[in-house]
Structure formats: C-alpha cells, structure tokens
Amino acid sequence: MILDLHVHSELSDDSRAGVETYLKVLQRKREERPLDGVVLTEHRQWNEEVDYRSLEDQYEMKILRGAEVETDYGHVLLYGVTPEIASRFDFADVRLPAQKLVTEVEAMGGVAVPCHPGRTNIGLCAHYEDKPPLEGVCAVEAINGGSRGDEDAQTALLIEEQGYASFGGSDAHLVAFIGLCATKFQDQIDTEQDLVAALRAGRCNAVDFR
C-alpha cells in the first residue's frame, strides 16, 4: 500500500490546494504515481470535525490525517492524534519541546516523526550538530518533494548513523506536487492507528516518483 504521508491542503495557511483537487490529479496520473491514499498534515493545527469519507468513497482513495508542528529540533509530523494528544500540546506553539513530544505522544498512542531532516534550520540534521540525539524516534522522512540540493543526501547519512526507518512525503502545497514522494507499506493501512503501528515497526520505505 502506498501513501503520501505529508500533504497540505487549503486548511494550511500556505496552501490553496483543495483535497478533492489532489485526488483528481492522483486519479489522472495513477500510472505515474500509483498511490492508494494521502495523509493530510496541516500546519500547527488539529480539527477533529473535518470528515473526508465522502471523498474517500467517490475517488476510492484513503484519506488519513495527521499534523505538522514546530519544535526546538525542527519540524515534526504527528500521526495517530488522539483527543488526549490534542489537549496536551498546543499545536500552534512554534517551540514545542521535541523530546517531550516524541515521548508523550508515543505514550498516548500516537507517533511523532521528524520531517525534511536535511532542511536548513527547520530540519533535524542542523539541530543534531549541537544538541544530543532525540530518544525514541522510530523513523524520519527520508525523501521530501520539496527538498533542494543535498538535503535528502544529508538525511540519508542521518538514517545510516541513527538507524531510523524511512518514509517519504511530497510536502505538497500545490496540486502538481502531490504524490511525487510517498511511502510503501508492507501492511494494509486503513486507519491512523494502522499507520502508527507500521511506522513504529519500521514496516515501510520511502518511494520516489519524481
């Protein structure tokens, strides 16, 4: 099963792409980008009331949700967000404590995984230059559709050094980028909890359709 784990829709402040438009593009480009679904990771927010089931049925694509938050170790994707997690952390806080986030999110049934680690200032690699490695990180985003230069190469070195599992995401803010990078899972992913379990177990790998 192949999912794009890092997608921003018009609910994020820096994207104007609609969820249905993303699905139309994936439907049209299915031979080039054979995805089974997407995970919406809006910036600094969590809205429990948003429901995409009608679009899932119409386009026969899985739509799961997570969030992208900002921490003292760079940007982090959250999956398996529960009411407890949403009430424990202020997703709008741009200086969330990464170690506490990783540890407590796992204890509450979710998973916190760094994204675009090689990116200047907001990636994990830069922070590891002068801070101790985070404990409990199970995976990082190995390839990102918005990466430039040697960012993904730096991430590859980080993965080799730390033994992290890898996943991929397009980081799409525009419809043209949807599905360019994604994650192939060894298991069927039907729910956010399936996604959490697969990431924790490392039963996945990044795939590049660029």
- Each residue's pLDDT tens digit, 57-85: 999 999 999 999 999 999 999 999 999 99
pLDDT at 146: 94
Q: Distance between the two ends of the chain, CA-based, in angstroms?
A: 18
Q: Which residues contact residue 132 at a Cβ distance below 8 angstroms, ignoring those fewer than 6 apart? A: none
Average pLDDT (45-51) is 89
Out of 9-13, 100-104, 142-146, 202-206, which region has the weakest mean confidence (pLDDT)?
Answer: 9-13
**How many percent of the chain have pLDDT more than 70?**
100
Token pair of 38, please?
């997407």
CATH, range 2-208: 3.20.20.140
Confidence of residue 157 (pLDDT cuts 50, 70, 90): very high
pLDDT at 48: 82
Average pLDDT of the chain, as a whole number: 97
Q: Could you read off the pLDDT of 73-125 as tens digits, one per residue?
A: 999 999 999 999 999 999 999 999 999 999 999 999 999 999 999 999 999 99
Residue 40 scores a pLDDT above 90: yes
**How many percent of the chain have pLDDT more than 90?**
97
Residue 49 scores a pLDDT above 90: no
pLDDT at 31: 96
Domain ranges of the chain: 2-208
158 burial type by CB count under 10 A (0-12 exposed, 13-18 middle, 19+ buried):
buried
Angle in degrees, CA 154, 167, 175, rounded to 5: 95
Would you put residue 164 in left (φ > 0), alpha (ψ -120 to 50) or beta? Answer: beta
Contact 22, 9 (CB under 8 A): yes
Residue whose C-alpha is closest to residue 63's, from 28, 39, 30, 35 = 39
Q: Which helix (H) or strand (E) holds 196?
A: helix 192-201
Contact 138, 113 (CB under 8 A): yes
Residue 47 scores a pLDDT above 90: no
